[in-house]
Amino acid sequence: MPVEDDTYEKLRLELRRGSLVLAVLAALKVERYGYTLRKELADAGLEIDEGALYPMLRRLETQGLLTSEWREEDKRNKRFYRLSDDGADLLAELTAEWRAINSSLNRLI
């Protein structure tokens, strides 16, 4: 792979990393399990690798931003995630920050 493509890919992933957390928090205002969350994000145009999504969910839960519950659905136990109260507060702050960045970038780009 040429150096330019490699650099682009690294920067693109860096750019996406922070925004994916925001997207996951926003999508979990409604309770979802991993598969449906990933599908929801993909339908919105944000593909995320499962290998990255599941550890991220666990990390966000450890940070107190999500709550989770094991429940049976389709004859199988699934872990459902939902935004916690702290997560909702943080989502509001991050959304404001996102809009500010977006607005600044729009003026610059």
Rounded-to-integer distance, Cα 11 and Cα 17, Å:
10
Nearer to other proteins, 36 or 98 (CB): 36
Q: How far is the CB of 78 from other proteins (least distance, A)?
A: 6
Question: Of 3, 43, 45, 70, which one interacts with other proteins (CB under 8 A)?
Answer: 70
Nearer to other proteins, 58 or 94 (CB): 58
Q: How many CA atoms lie within 13 A of 22 on its CB side?
A: 13
Decide: 44 and 23 in contact? Cβ < 8 Å: yes
Binding of other proteins at residue 77 (CB under 8 A)?
A: yes
Rounded-to-integer distance, Cα 66 and Cα 89, Å:
12
Question: Of 14, 45, 51, 108, which one interacts with other proteins (CB under 8 A)?
Answer: 51
Listed in sequence order, the residues at least 6 apart from 77 whose beta carbon sits closer than 8 Å to its beta carbon are: 70, 71
Using CB under 8 A, list all residues that contact other proteins: 33-35, 50-52, 54-55, 58, 70, 76-79
